[in-house]
Structure 1
């Protein structure tokens, strides 16, 4: 399968909005495949989406999309808040802005959030190169003065 299914981007947008972005950890499977991980899933046949990640302050994960039980697309990611940020309130505030930004995912770039989102004095940015078939990018959250609070790198594409 070398061509991108016409409905893959729309499915990714729906899956992301119905898992972490929309439900946070409430979308987590009770018994994940990998011990110690968070696992979020969404199904809309013929597609199935799975996001498995480890960690919180710094985290690493992978999203996969299967079509008819065969993985056709994947994205890996790693990042988190700056190491010196340790208090729970800061984590919650930063990740609340992140989830709100991720709800703005759109079919033109169905990887993370929109290019720019601002809330609660914080600025979220996502810069990506490539297209759904093969891409890489970085997302950041900073105070409006530019002080970086969070960074994540992501990459992926269509498997062949």
Structure 2
């Protein structure tokens, strides 16, 4: 089993805080590799991060990290806002809240957001199993009263 470079987790945190969660427009690629996708990138040699996803209400995507132009780590994900949520204001509030949670990603578990984050009447929960070399998890957002609003499943690890 290969071990992760000690700086991979720190790079992942930096890469995840900037493009989507940080709304860094410079990270958005104008001509994505796959037609119809959104593509976000972050570079800090020797590492390069790429996140390609499709959809908005329900979305699927994949993140990759390359070191010296060789992909060494990847994470796939799918999920989104519950189908019955159709009001634009609620939809936008959920994703604004999600970005706030994702900004709190830490080097101990650099996959999505923290285990728990609460703000503005919503609660983000992230249940994670594994470590940076092989992991999976589920993140959810619910109202404080427990009404589910959003769910995403993810998994990944070091490639070998």
Q: CA deviation at 1:88?
A: 1.4
- d(CA) in 1 for partners of 2:83, 2:111: 25
Q: Are 1:144 and 2:147 matched, yes or no? A: no
Q: Name the TM-score, length of structure 2 as normaliser.
A: 0.97
Gaps of 5+ in 1: none
User: How many Å apart are 1:27 and its aligned residue?
Assistant: 3.4
Unmatched segments (≥5 aa) in structure 2 = none
Query: Residues 1-27 of structure 1: CA distance to partner in whole angstroms, max 9, x if unpaired?
Result: 811101000000000011101016673
1:101 matched to which residue of 2? 101
Q: Distance in 2 between matches of 1:2 and 1:41?
A: 25
Residue 53 of structure 2 is aligned to residue 68 of structure 1: no
Give the aligned CA root-mean-square deviation in angstroms: 1.2
Task: Tell me the equivalent position of 1:33.
Answer: 33
Q: How many residues align?
A: 160
Question: Counterpart of 1:22 in 2: which secondary structure?
Answer: coil
Three-state SS of the structure 2 residue aligned to 1:155 is strand
Aligned to 1:77: 77
**4+ long deviations beyond 4 Å:** none
